[in-house]
Amino acid sequence: MGLLSLAIWTPIIFGTVLLLLGRDEQARSVRWIALIGAVVSFLVTLPLYGGFQLGTSAMQFVENSTWIERFNVNYHLGVDGISLWFVLLTAFINVVVVIASWESIRTRVNQYMAALLILSGLQIGVFAALDGMLFYVFFEATLIPMYLIIGIWGGPKKIYAAFKFFLYTLLGSLLMLVALLFLYTKSGGSFDIATWHMLPLGGTVQTLLFFAFFAAFAVKVPMWPVHTWLPDVHVEAPTGGSAVLAAIMLKLGGYGFLRFSLPIAPDASHEWAWLMIALSLVAVIYVGLVSLVQRDMKKLVAYSSVVHMGFVTLGFFLFSDLGVSGGIVQMLSHGFVSGAMFLCIGVLYDRVHSREIASYGGVVNTMPKFAAFALLFSMANAGLPGTAGFVGEWMVILASVKSNFWIGAAAATTLIFAAAYTLWMFKRVYLGPVANKEVKELKDINSREYLVLALLAIAVLYMGIYPKPFTDVMNASVTDLLKHVAVSKLN
């Protein structure tokens, strides 16, 4: 078993063990088994970075064996500079979320922890899959544990939110399945994604494929106007589910654009770039304004996720090294920052059982250590230089200005809106005098919560101060992708 298989199947095996052995009356041992599984799953991904060869766009750590011989479906895995960091990010966030969910989940603990671990393995499978059908299986399979996390451990409207999440993402993916089957036929019976990248395709065919992939990946990102499921799901999902959804699951859509839409349909991607840029700018500006009027903290951060992911798609469709690299960096930084924001909201919710901004005020007086972490993550969410939130946005804005000044100017408005809605929330929740009895009785974070927030704070600061290791890994792969996209494939 290769390193990628270990990264995929280690958390899935631990999750399966929890389903078989765990009981609620054994919750303490279940939690420790889940933590051990998450830590081991993260540790097995570290050799991927340690052994990764810089300066090449070739797939590394490749595994290839026959899965379904009759249809030429293979268990084909590999990572390049684009996908490597997402494997590591997924495993890291899984550790953080397991620790963060230690006390907040009290019913069916084994099933919850199993769902988190299995979801982590499936998401790594998406980033590592080099076979189209294998990618689709992993991509769709991630819906199941997330659906259960929302539908079982969610809020009062959890069933509605779970169905909305499932139906939105499933319907979009069905069009992608049609596209995959067409490419299988067109390539003479191959599901190899690299083979699909080389297919000469007509303009109409490329356009149809582009929008088929758009249906799946735009919903997953999510792009405006198919983003409406995200706030509802975040509001109802448990804290751990929201953190995983924002930090990892949204990235599956952005990754899909890079692996399928751009290289398979490059001419259509160029032709419809104006639409992608327009939708991205609507997300940046309009959804940023929508964030300003939110009263629920989770809903505000959910809308801000749509804004930040708008930068991702904007960067991709500028077709420049700086733009694509900036979009990837933005996905990684958003994974750290948005995950941290939702976990901070979870800390408050566990104590007060309210997500309404009006329920708080003056939290810094009773929870100074926690407020310091919340301030750091809020600044990162607003794009403060020196934090992870700044790097990707700055790269995309710079690429936008180089492409078209007015696109860059429109994109830069996010620096104003993000600061406005994030600092407005921080001011009303944390600053000023103690607002009520509930806030007065709050106790500061314990050692477990401190560990969770400290891990994310280190990641946010390290990436903000020294992003070079992140960009060095992806440079060769991004350059190769853009060379491929620049060549017409019209037959």
Q: What is the pLDDT along the chain (491 residues), one digit of tens a residue?
A: 689 999 999 999 999 998 887 666 567 788 888 999 999 999 999 999 988 888 888 889 989 998 888 888 899 999 998 999 999 999 999 999 999 988 888 888 888 999 999 999 999 999 999 999 999 999 999 999 999 999 888 888 888 888 888 888 888 888 899 999 999 998 888 888 889 888 888 888 989 999 999 988 998 888 888 888 888 888 888 888 889 988 888 899 899 999 998 998 889 988 999 999 999 999 888 888 888 888 888 889 888 888 888 889 999 999 888 999 999 999 999 999 999 999 999 888 888 888 888 888 888 888 899 999 999 999 999 888 999 988 988 999 999 998 889 888 888 888 888 888 899 989 988 888 887 888 888 888 889 889 999 999 999 999 999 999 889 989 998 998 888 787 776 65
Give me the helices (H) in 432-490, please.
Answer: 437-440, 447-465, 468-486
Query: What pLDDT is attached to residue 418?
Result: 86
Collapsed DSSP state (helix, strand, coil) of residue 75: strand
End-to-end CA distance of the chain: 40
Query: What pLDDT is attached to residue 24?
Result: 62
For residues 246 and 161, what is the distance between their CA atoms, to the nearest angstrom? Answer: 15
For residues 255 and 23, what is the distance between their CA atoms, to the nearest angstrom? Answer: 37
Handedness of CA 296, 301, 306, 308 (dihedral sign): positive
> How many angstroms from the chain centroid is the CA of residue 455?
18
Query: What pLDDT is attached to residue 13?
Result: 93
User: Could you tell me the pTM of the whole model?
Assistant: 0.92
**Residue 444 CA: distances (Å) to CA of 178, 361, 370, 419:** 52, 15, 6, 26
For residues 395 and 139, what is the distance between their CA atoms, to the nearest angstrom? Answer: 29
**Residue 48 CA: distances (Å) to CA of 78, 122, 412, 470:** 10, 17, 36, 14
Query: What contacts 388, CB < 8 A, 6 or more positions away?
Result: 332, 333, 336, 337, 380, 459, 460, 461, 463, 464, 467
Q: How do the residues of the chain divide into helix, strand and coil, expressed in percent and rounded to 5?
A: 75, 5, 20
Asked whether the beta carbons of 272 and 204 are under 8 A apart, the reply is no
Reference 35, options 120, 152, 108; nearest CA is 120
